[in-house]
Chain A
Amino acid sequence: MSVKPTLLAISSPGGHWIQLNRLSVGLEERYRVVYAMPAGLFTSTSLGEREPTRKVYSVVDVSADDKWRLIPCALQVLYILLKERPKAILSTGAAPGAVAIWLGSFLGIRTIWVDSIANVKQISRAGKLAQKRADVFLTQWEQLSDGQAIQYKGAVL
């Protein structure tokens, strides 16, 4: 039996997390998926029925209003990356995912960003940060794709 490569799936709670899950369920057969998301909103309803079998790390949430939290968040993400040694990082946003993309890219980990389906008019702010370092950058709306740096390859809905 071959060992599945590890994938780190990281997002904020709520819509980002729902989208991340809709993608990761399709990848769990092919990868050992390790999750990370901000705690606090960490309830049984937000995690769903599958959680008991899943490995979920909690990280500090970051927003534009409290940028200082980038430091503890980055340290936690760095710890997860060093411990789990994922082959790739997948994020649907927002800020903690962008932190993971930056750190992962410096560690030579493959990084994939899927901008939230809620961003129909322009790429999200966190997405623009992630875009500087992401290996693959995807939008879920065809009209936002430029066919090169920003690609459209489907959507969760």
Chain B
Amino acid sequence: MIFVAVGTQFPFDRLIRAVDEWAAQHALTGMAQIAGGEYLPQTLQWERFMTTAVFNQHVQNADLIISHAGMGNIITALEHRKPIIVMNRQHALGEHRNDHQLDGLAWMGQLPGVYTATTQDELYALLARQHTLQAAPLDNDSRRQTLVDFIDQAIRASTTLSNRT
């Protein structure tokens, strides 16, 4: 069971088609959120847009999330303990206003639980080994909690902590 989601701003037919064709070849079921896309999935079920509650339910039901390189989807996937593959939109193909999603891919790929693909070949290579893809470990939560607690302490601290020069 896979869930592919492209966000609400732009369509991303290239990604939807690639995943849909792969699903057809591998007898895989799944759901696609396709925004204003022209390509309508043949194998995957699809919706153009969905409420946050429905979206989260699909994330919960999926074994693997596939997404455009958007921060919101990454956070949602990691918080539901699902591995996520992200693929960048390309400006040259008219998929976005610029190529900032390609720049983003470099750091996103360093996050635990996040896998990146820039081409359909790379996407298919990841899908071929989808059962080896791991969700972010639980200690990711502790990374955030440590940061929040440190900020709390830093607010309460006296000026002795100051590094102002």
Contact = CB atoms under 8 A, between A and B. Distances in A.
A135 B161 contact: yes
A45 B78 CA distance: 20
Given A7-B155, A26-B144, A87-B155, A153 B150 contact: yes
Residue among A30, A119, A153 with most chain B CB within 10 A = A153
Nearest to A156: B144
Question: How many A residues are at the interface, by size bracket?
Answer: 35 or more
Given A112-B154, A120-B110, A154 B147 contact: yes
A40 B151 CA distance: 29
10 contacts: A15-B71, A18-B72, A22-B144, A26-B145, A90-B155, A110-B157, A114-B151, A133-B164, A137-B163, A153-B146
Q: Which 8 pairs show the lowest CB-CB distances between chains A and B?
A: A154-B147, A26-B148, A154-B146, A120-B107, A153-B150, A88-B155, A154-B143, A136-B154
Given A18-B71, A45-B8, A31 B155 contact: yes
B34 interface: no
A85 to B, nearest CB: 14
Given A27-B151, A87-B155, A120-B107, A149 B163 contact: yes
A135 B74 CA distance: 31
Interface of A: prevailing SS: loop
B72 A135 contact: no
A58 interface: no
Nearest to B140: A157
Given A18-B75, A135-B163, A137-B163, A154 B155 contact: no
Contacts, number: 91
Contact of B75 (A45, A87, A157): A157
Interface string A126-152: 000000111111101000000011000
B94 to A, nearest CB: 21
B111 interface: yes
Given A22-B144, A154-B147, A120 B162 contact: no
Contacts of B142: 154
A157 B78 contact: yes
Residue among B74, B107, B151, B152 with most chain A CB within 10 A = B151
A18 B75 CA distance: 9
A118 B104 CA distance: 7
Contact of A155 (B143, B159, B165): B143
Residue among B107, B147, B159 with most chain A CB within 10 A = B147
A124 interface: no
B52 interface: yes
Contacts of A136: 151, 154, 161, 163
A105 B159 CA distance: 12
B111 A157 contact: yes
B106 interface: yes
Contacts of A156: 144, 147
Nearest to A132: B165
Contacts of A26: 144-145, 148
